[in-house]
Structure 1
Amino acid sequence: MSATSIGTPEQLRDPNYTPPIAKAVPLGIQHVLAMFVSNVTPAIIVCGAAGFGFGSNSPDFPQMIYMIQMSMFFAGIATLFQTIGVGPVGARLPIVQGTSFAFIPIMIPLVAGKGVDAIAVLMGGIVVGGLFHAFLGLFIGKLRFALPPLVTGLVVTMIGLALVKVGIQYAAGGVPAMSQPEYGSLLNWTMAGTVILVTLGLKFFTKGMLSVSAVLIGLLVGYGVAFMLGEVNLGNVGRAAPFALPNPLHFGIEFSVAAIIGFCLMSFVSAVETVGDVSGITKGGAGREATDKEIEGATYADGIGTAISGFFGALPNTSFSQNVGLIAMTGVMSRGVVTIGALFLILCGLIPKVGAVISSVPIEVLGGGVIVMFGMVVAAGISMLSDVDWNRRNMVIFAIALSLGLGLQLEPNALQYLPQTLKVLATSGILPAALIAIVLNLILPQELSGEATEEVSGGMSGHGTGLKGKEEASAANV
């Protein structure tokens, strides 16, 4: 569908312009397809980490269906906050909201192996973290100085690195709590590999809708292969209700210091990510900078949407970057189009059978999809780091933050004598890495920045200095 057939260039840059309904509906569904898998995957991961939800005979299986259902429903609600707005809440821009991957490394230690009862602790942290996130809307623009690409790129990279292990475990047969004797078998990797190969093929050799929906189509093909191999159980689809409304405090609510601190700190990271997404939408879709009012409204919507999600048993919401790229690709800036997509998500969230079908996807098939998605998170972080001027100062900051953050995550017993709250936060990996990078970036003298060509470890003179550093190194060699 070409942009010129939808409206004039001026109309396409106007957020308030809505194309004819026959074209607006498929455009809205295209936004849903671009984010659908990423939106429901965190619920499956959290349920798996808690040790419930998988297997049709599990008494906790309906709880996973409910969380998947709420992931869709409240992604739609939060998106409406952004597109339509309520008072100061919402950017009134085509921002698609969805369940955030960034919080998974915080959530897994809080629920690991503790069953459905542990979910109440998450909900308490999500509600408080969401309110804190909304509070950040008052001054988020003034804090961006503390978060250069060195810090944000490191954080995004750490999020991806924290998740890649989960992708491999799923592809091999599940996390340890749900592993079977055939863990790592050729059958399991055949299902996962099918998803990866189909996704790569569509992403690189097709265009338009097929390319945008590559992961989703890859999962559907993998699901078909798993069905033919007899690995799909659809028994719960028939038992799922045809319609159900959200249930307040479905999992209960419990307030934990570790959860509250962890969610509030990650909310800060998420708020900065949203600022970047809003700027990306206005630049890519309208060719202008985002206004302060738009950034503040988007941050309020992020936080309020997350707090409401937690109250009803869903996970934290944030703006979805893949949809920012979709707007730049289609050239359609219409918030009406995204509103249609949000309504479609809400409809899916009211039909538990949709959640039951999603929950019937074998964990190995899902593993193939998340290997691609989590790898892309790492790649996005590395892309952000490419903007860093890699002088000695920045290399030292990155090295220390990465070593301590990733090291503590890989070896949590190194802090076994810490109080439980501090241990959970410190071994998340992301939080210590982010805090170390932020503090060192603020306190280390900038004078070291001039030493970009000084020999560093193994004769790496002038290497990895970013665009500016590369130009200086090139000039020095002439």
Structure 2
Amino acid sequence: MTALIAPELAPAPAPTGMAPAQARDPDWFPGLHVAVPLGIQHVLAMFVSNMTPAIIVAGAGGFGFGSADPSQMIYMIQMAMLFAGLATLMQTIGFGPVGARLPLVQGTSFAYIPIMIPIVAGKGVEAMAALTTAALFGGLLHAFLSMFVGRIRFALPPLITGLVVLMIGLSLMRIGIQYAAGGVPAVGTPAFGAWQSWLLAGVVVVVTLALNFFGRGIWSTAAVLLGLMAGYAVALAMGRIDFAPVASAGLVMVPMPFHFGFAISVSAILGFCLTGFVSSIETIGDVDAICEGNAGRPATDKELSGAVAADGVGTALAAVFGAMPNTTFSQNVGLIAITGVMSRHVVTVGALFLVLCGLLPKVGAVITTIPIEVVGGGVIVMFGMVASAATSMLSGVEWTQRNMLIFGVSLSLALGLQLEPLALQHVPETARVLLGSGVLPAAVTAVVLNLLVPGRT
């Protein structure tokens, strides 16, 4: 799940010097003078969203910010960039049936975070073996689903997809507040919630909102990243930045197969497989949006299946090397509507830039010097946007009594189980992980009720 889901935008006029037909053609190359700046702009739009899941998972496992050895988090951040770039190349260039050959940007998915956190929570880096193994199986199933996903779209109307996206946002909002107040390790200490922490988080939120509301072009597109930079500058002035990890980081990082090992966890595999199904529906929505909104035509079955296949193969490949699951990023779909250039080669340039960043560990080391409160400010904005995007999706639902009951019961059950985990203390561990995720019980309950209750349209 993407972090920031762009609102629906009317296609922008073709840039100066480009014919409208050229700008809407995915196969047209506008030249390096256009492709390089627009490609980097795509990276800036998704950069923070892409690295955030790795930071959250590392923090939940106890080897993130403030830990004695952040090297594993640095590795995860590097792999997030590297495999986001490689998965994007699968989408833009295509390999056989894999890839939509459209300007789709891939990045680390938020949809899996509610599943990943219980797997690693308090268990250290050793738990990453079960997580990445589950992501490998989930990615392979995701790729397999690409052959059938178009046939089951009837069972997933906006009522269900909107509910799932809403649960993703609601499930993660607590993390944003914890980070902004000083991070999980500070919970229960006098330092938690100190004014200095809220100052840093507040700077990020205020600058991000100001740039979104009043900025133009790159200033608005990269608002979250620029907001983080503003918070970082304030933290630097307060003496909160330690550059020791940057000095000790190497020059090149080579990805290692099964970096975290290989371990089978039935509950983790089930969780990743079920969440992969939800993620594939999101990808279909992005492909539909980019084709209808920017190319002026519906997406073909080949484009839909290729995009979902790239999601799955990209996730499986990333998992082998210790990275998080991938999905298409909706904010980049919106960016194409803003720029008016639909060339997939522009996104290819951005993907190559991501691959380069992923091989340079000093980039990840710089990210680890960001105070947790600064990250918290960005996370508050991103997860809030996920929830608000869900309300936009739900606005098209016909709110009959039937639909209200399906939505209400699914939301109440899923959110209630997540807020009161002790209610599941007597169920087996596998069921406890799945039922406590929030996202999966909401999706399953809503799908089953929608299929069984009379009146479905």
The answer to whether the aligner puts 1:355 opposite 2:376 as a matched pair is no
Residue 38 of structure 2 corresponds to: 27
Q: Which of the residues 425, 440, 447 maps onto 1:416?
A: 425
Distance 1:126 1:93 in 2: 25
- Superposed displacement of residue 49, structure 1: 0.4
- Superposed displacement of residue 5, structure 1: 2.4
Q: Map of 1:322-341 to 2, 5 A cutoff?
A: 322-341=331-350
Q: Which of the residues 157, 161, 182 maps onto 2:170?
A: 161
The answer to whether the aligner puts 1:182 opposite 2:191 as a matched pair is yes
The answer to whether the aligner puts 1:439 opposite 2:452 as a matched pair is no
Q: Do 1:42 and 1:100's aligned partners in 2 also have CA atoms closer than 8 Å?
A: yes
- Superposed displacement of residue 239, structure 1: 0.4
Q: Do 1:42 and 1:101's aligned partners in 2 also have CA atoms closer than 8 Å?
A: yes
Q: Which of the residues 166, 179, 182 maps onto 1:170?
A: 179
Q: Deviations over 1:25-71 (max 9, x none)?
A: 0000000000000000000000000011223x613x10000000000
Residue 80 of structure 2 corresponds to: 71
Aligned residues: 446
- Secondary structure, in 3 states, of the residue corresponding to 1:98? strand
- Secondary structure, in 3 states, of the residue corresponding to 2:111? coil
The answer to whether the aligner puts 1:293 opposite 2:294 as a matched pair is no
Higher Rg: 1
Q: Which of the residues 235, 250, 258 maps onto 2:267?
A: 258
Q: Map of 1:386-401 to 2, 5 A cutoff?
A: 386-401=395-410
Distance 2:245 2:334 in 1: 36
Q: Deviations over 1:387-434 (max 9, x none)?
A: 110010001101100000000000010010000111010011111111
Q: Which of the residues 82, 93, 101 maps onto 1:92?
A: 101
The answer to whether the aligner puts 1:369 opposite 2:400 as a matched pair is no
Residue 470 of structure 1 corresponds to: none
User: Structure 1 221/2 Cα, relative in aligned 2: closer, same or farther at 3 Å?
Assistant: farther
Q: Which of the residues 416, 419, 432 maps onto 1:407?
A: 416
- Secondary structure, in 3 states, of the residue corresponding to 2:327? strand
- Secondary structure, in 3 states, of the residue corresponding to 2:437? coil
Distance 1:92 1:47 in 2: 33
Distance 2:293 2:261 in 1: 42
Q: Which of the residues 208, 222, 226 maps onto 1:217?
A: 226
- 1:398 partner amino acid: F
Distance 2:451 2:106 in 1: 31
Distance 1:381 1:279 in 2: 17
Q: Which of the residues 430, 433, 438 maps onto 1:429?
A: 438
The answer to whether the aligner puts 1:272 opposite 2:281 as a matched pair is yes
The answer to whether the aligner puts 1:4 opposite 2:2 as a matched pair is no
Task: Report sequence identity in percent.
Answer: 63
- Superposed displacement of residue 179, structure 1: 7.0
- Superposed displacement of residue 180, structure 1: 5.3
Q: Do 2:102 and 2:344's aligned partners in 1 also have CA atoms closer than 8 Å?
A: yes
- Secondary structure, in 3 states, of the residue corresponding to 1:383? helix
The answer to whether the aligner puts 1:319 opposite 2:363 as a matched pair is no
Moved over 3 A (4+): 176-181
- 2:193 partner amino acid: G
- Secondary structure, in 3 states, of the residue corresponding to 2:15? helix
Distance 2:255 2:125 in 1: 18
- Superposed displacement of residue 20, structure 1: 1.6
Unaligned runs of 5+ in 2: 1-11
Distance 1:20 1:180 in 2: 56
Q: Do 2:13 and 2:20's aligned partners in 1 also have CA atoms closer than 8 Å?
A: no
Distance 1:201 1:3 in 2: 27
Q: Map of 1:92-171 to 2, 5 A cutoff?
A: 92-171=101-180
User: Structure 1 375/279 Cα, relative in aligned 2: closer, same or farther at 3 Å?
Assistant: same
The answer to whether the aligner puts 1:18 opposite 2:29 as a matched pair is yes
Residue 240 of structure 1 corresponds to: 249
- Superposed displacement of residue 6, structure 1: 5.0
- Superposed displacement of residue 244, structure 1: 1.5
Q: Which of the residues 36, 53, 58 maps onto 2:68?
A: 58
TM-score by length of 2: 0.96
Q: Which of the residues 47, 61, 65 maps onto 1:36?
A: 47
- Secondary structure, in 3 states, of the residue corresponding to 1:244? coil
Q: Do 1:113 and 1:177's aligned partners in 2 also have CA atoms closer than 8 Å?
A: no
Residue 3 of structure 2 corresponds to: none
User: Structure 1 157/297 Cα, relative in aligned 2: closer, same or farther at 3 Å?
Assistant: same
- 2:200 partner amino acid: M
